[in-house]
């Protein structure tokens, strides 16, 4: 399948995406691949629980780094200057009405328990993905949808 890009895509700024306490390596690999495809600058995990990453068929590690942080505090201390932390969690502002930041980090919670309160309190914004039946998405799918929303809104000049 060929590559399709949007003309006029506003690539100013950067973004990263990560998961707090990811449970499976396949979700990290899928998210990593989507991050590469949708222009993320980096991917990260905090307090990883998985053993290894096995689903990276594009050898994404050659194109976009994956960082690991032992704790949320370690991650937060090393966030880039003037970068907004955007939590993706159920029950908050719909992402469809959210204006993405020029420099942002999208943070997802674990597959089985989401983002803890102490982390949500440190986010600059919290957004929710719309759904029809249930508000729970697979973590890699949720991250891919959030990145795709950023891609579309930046391409349209927000």
Is 2 inside a domain boundary?
no
d(CA 136, CA 129): 9
Write the DSSP assignment of 28-84 as a string of letters.
Answer: HHHHHHHHHHTT-SEEEEES---S-----TT-GGGTS-EEEESSHHHHHHTSPTT-E
Is 91 inside a domain boundary?
yes
Structure pTM?
A: 0.87
Q: Which two tokens stand for residue 115?
A: 């983002």
Is 1 inside a domain boundary?
no
Is 5 inside a domain boundary?
no
d(CA 120, CA 64): 26
User: Which residues, in sequence order, are CB contacts of 110 under 8 Å at separation 6+?
Assistant: 19, 20, 21, 22, 23, 49, 139
- The domain of 52 spans 14-155
Is 94 inside a domain boundary?
yes
Q: What is the CATH number of the domain that holds 99?
A: 3.40.1280.10
d(CA 133, CA 117): 25
Domain count within the chain: 1
How high is the pLDDT of residue 9? Answer: 46
Phi then psi for 145, rounded to 5 degrees? -65, -40
Is 141 inside a domain boundary?
yes
How high is the pLDDT of residue 103? Answer: 96
pLDDT along the chain (158 residues), means of 10: 47 90 89 93 87 57 85 96 96 95 96 93 97 89 97 79
Is 9 inside a domain boundary?
no
For 149, other C-beta atoms within 10 Å of its C-beta total 19
């Amino acid at each position: 399948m060929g590559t399709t890009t949007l003309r006029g895509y506003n690539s100013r700024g950067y973004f990263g995406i990560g998961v707090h306490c990811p449970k499976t390596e396949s979700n990290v690999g899928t998210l990593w691949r989507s991050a590469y495809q949708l222009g993320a600058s980096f991917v990260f995990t905090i307090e990883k629980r998985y053993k290894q990453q096995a689903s990276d068929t594009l050898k994404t590690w050659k194109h976009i780094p994956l960082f690991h942080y032992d704790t949320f505090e370690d991650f937060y201390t090393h966030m880039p200057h003037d970068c907004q932390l955007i939590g993706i969690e159920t029950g908050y502002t719909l992402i469809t009405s959210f204006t993405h930041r020029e420099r942002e980090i999208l943070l997802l919670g674990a597959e089985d328990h989401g983002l803890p309160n102490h982390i949500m309190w440190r986010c600059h914004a919290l957004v929710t993905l719309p759904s029809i039946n249930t508000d729970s998405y697979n973590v890699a799918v949720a991250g891919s949808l959030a990145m795709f929303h950023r891609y579309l809104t930046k391409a349209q000049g927000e």
